[in-house]
């Protein structure tokens, strides 16, 4: 069974793209037996060149389902099927990334119709989908829209199946076990690796740690390391002799542990993560008219930040969501530069703070509620989530707005007992990166519980 698909995305930075449209045809080798097509609200900005290319804009997606709302249907229609796409590596990466954000391991074998066509029909002037189907006489409507491209890929794939009479090429093209090309030492390392969430440490023969990473599936991540052709990956493949692991139970603790230990150990192949992991922050100030304004600015350690962001695009996208959720003014959140009313005011979705028509006390109350919910300044709380075992939970301690450490406890323990907390927390030196990782994670993911502590309970 095959799941032939096409995905349209927002464009943007690698692994930060969002899906705007998806089409999947379940194909049994002869006919389509099921299909699913939908626009998707990516909850982020669409790059202008993508809007021009696909015709899909943010207004069209305002009421479209978000990815988590269509995820179950995607799992159902792709169950026990090989993913087929024109440039399958891209579509599979986008899907895998979206499911990773939901904490679900989406792992499928893939077939790429670009690769198959090059093998079965060599010598064509171009293998881009538009030019390829035109040269083969395959009808294609709605180019650069998921449903039209996916339907054309179904017809192309059916043609390729007919051309591959012996079925040898298609069988060989299914990447069921990328490990088969690896050296024996790397195969052994992968074989012994867990499929769980945690942090892994790559060692040279003398035990030196040369790389630290984290993953929701350590085994799968090592396969990616050891089959990657990048210059850094090839060096790692030559030098690594052993990999040790620490299970964390959830991705947030894995991120925190990875960040702290890279700074402490400074492995030779982790240069990028030694630096601060965010470059922008969201701050607030009160203007001369008495309104609280929000402002995205370059990260500044001397200023208190409400939120921090990895890049400017992420910051802007988040501020758009905040503006919508709290019914704020685009002018006062820095999204719309104008001397008059903002865009939302023109469509009657802003109460007029941009023109001083809304009372400051009313507007500032909503901004303050947002800041109170999202700023960790002076807060004492516990973040409770999954542990390493079924009967275990993890706990992260925030004290005075700073990350103090993490630990694990058995479900039979009372976690609000301060003496137990003192004994189980592995304390760390707080830094701004840790706060950034925690805030960023909580914006995108749900945890089991967040427990607020009274000030007298601070350790």
pLDDT band at residue 459 using 50, 70 and 90 as cut-offs: low
Work out the end-to-end distance of the chain between its first and last CA atoms, rounded to an integer number of angstroms. 57
Mean pLDDT across the stretch 425-449?
Answer: 84
Do 382 and 395 contact (CB within 8 A), yes or no?
yes
Q: What is the DSSP string of 32-79?
A: EEEEEEEE-B-SSPPPHHHHHHH---HHHHTTSPBHHHHHHHHHHHTT
Residue 419 token pair: 């003496």
**Integer Cα distance of 197 and 217 in angstroms:** 5
User: What average pLDDT does this structure show over 148-160?
Assistant: 86
Of 214, 197, 202, the closest CA to residue 259 belongs to 214
Does the pLDDT of residue 153 top 60, yes or no? yes
Which pTM value belongs to this model?
0.57
Helix (H, G, I), strand (E, B) or coil at 163: helix
What are the structural domains of the chain?
2-173 (3.30.420.10), 178-274 (3.40.1440.10), 280-374 (no CATH), 381-457 (no CATH)
The Cα 250–Cα 248 span in angstroms is 6
Between CA 54 and CA 51 the distance in angstroms is: 5
Evaluate if residue 456 carries a pLDDT over 70: no
357 against 102, higher pLDDT: 357
Instruction: State how far the Cα of 257 lies from the Cα of 250, in Å rounded to an integer.
Output: 11
Look at phi and psi of residue 43 and say left if phi exceeds 0, alpha if psi is from -120 to 50, else beta: left
Range with lowest mean pLDDT among 156-170, 231-245, 257-271, 378-392? 156-170
452's tokens: 């607020």
Residue bearing the bigger pLDDT, 362 or 29 = 362
For CA atoms 100, 102, 107, 112, the dihedral sign is negative
More confident residue, 126 or 411: 126
Least reliable range by pLDDT among 54-58, 194-198, 372-376: 372-376
**Mean pLDDT of the region 150-158:** 87
Cα 131 from Cα 215, distance rounded (Å): 39
Q: What is the pLDDT of residues 355-370, one digit of tens each?
A: 999 999 999 999 999 9
Measure the CA dihedral 17/297/61/292, to 10°. 160
Reported as a pLDDT band with limits 50, 70 and 90, residue 180 is very low
Percentage of the chain modeled with pLDDT above 70 = 90
Strand order, beta sheet including 292-298: 292-298, 280-286, 307-309
Residue 176 pLDDT class (50, 70, 90 cuts) = very low
Q: What is the mean pLDDT of residues 113-141?
A: 81
For the segment 428-448, the average pLDDT, to the nearest whole number, is 84
Query: Given this model, what pLDDT does residue 349 score?
Result: 87
Mean pLDDT of the chain: 84
The radius of gyration computed from the CA coordinates of the chain, to the nearest angstrom, equals 25
Higher pLDDT, 86 or 29: 86
Confidence of residue 175 (pLDDT cuts 50, 70, 90): very low
Tell me the per-residue pLDDT of 335-354, one tens digit each, with 9 for 90 and over. Answer: 988 888 988 898 888 999 99
- Residue 79's pLDDT is 87
């Amino acid at each position: 069974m095959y799941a032939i698909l096409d995905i349209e995305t927002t464009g943007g930075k690698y692994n930060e793209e969002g899906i705007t449209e998806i089409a999947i045809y379940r194909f049994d080798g002869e006919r389509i037996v099921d299909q699913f097509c939908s626009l998707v609200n990516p909850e982020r900005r669409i790059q202008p060149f993508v809007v021009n290319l696909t015709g899909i804009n943010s207004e069209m997606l305002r009421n479209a389902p978000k990815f988590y709302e269509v995820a179950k249907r995607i799992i159902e229609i792709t169950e026990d099927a090989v993913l087929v796409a024109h440039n399958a590596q891209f579509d599979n990466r986008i899907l895998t990334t979206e499911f990773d954000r939901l904490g679900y391991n989406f792992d499928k074998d893939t077939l790429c119709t670009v690769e198959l066509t090059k093998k079965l029909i060599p010598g064509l002037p171009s293998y881009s989908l538009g030019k390829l189907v035109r040269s083969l006489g395959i009808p294609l409507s709605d180019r650069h829209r998921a449903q039209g491209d996916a339907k054309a890929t179904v017809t192309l794939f059916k043609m390729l199946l007919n051309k591959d009479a012996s079925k040898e090429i298609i069988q060989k093209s299914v990447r069921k076990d990328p490990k088969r090309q690896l050296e024996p030492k790397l195969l052994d390392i992968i074989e012994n690796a867990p499929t769980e969430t945690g942090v892994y440490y790559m060692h040279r023969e003398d035990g030196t740690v040369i790389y630290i990473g984290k993953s929701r599936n350590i085994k799968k991540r090592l396969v990616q390391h050891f089959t990657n052709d990048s210059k850094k990956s090839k060096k790692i493949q030559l030098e690594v002799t052993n990999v040790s692991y620490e299970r964390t139970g959830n991705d947030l603790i894995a991120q925190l542990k990875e960040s702290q230990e890279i700074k402490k150990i400074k492995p030779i192949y982790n240069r990028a993560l030694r630096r601060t992991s965010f470059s922008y922050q969201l701050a607030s100030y009160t203007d001369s008219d008495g309104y609280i304004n929000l402002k995205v600015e370059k990260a500044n350690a001397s200023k208190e930040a409400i939120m921090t962001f990895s890049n400017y695009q992420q910051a802007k996208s988040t501020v758009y969501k905040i503006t919508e959720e709290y019914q704020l003014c685009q002018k006062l959140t820095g999204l719309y530069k104008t001397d008059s009313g903002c865009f939302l005011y023109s469509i009657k979705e802003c109460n007029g703070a941009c023109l001083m028509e809304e009372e400051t006390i009313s507007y500032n109350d909503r901004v303050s509620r947002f800041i109170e919910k999202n700023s960790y300044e002076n807060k004492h709380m516990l973040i409770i989530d999954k542990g390493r075992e079924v009967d275990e939970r993890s706990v992260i301690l925030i004290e005075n707005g700073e990350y103090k450490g993490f630990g694990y406890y058995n479900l039979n323990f009372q976690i609000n007992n301060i003496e137990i907390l003192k004994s189980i927390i592995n304390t760390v030196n707080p830094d701004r990166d840790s706060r950034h990782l925690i805030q960023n994670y909580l914006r995108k993911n749900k945890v089991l519980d967040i427990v607020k502590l009274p000030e007298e309970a601070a350790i």
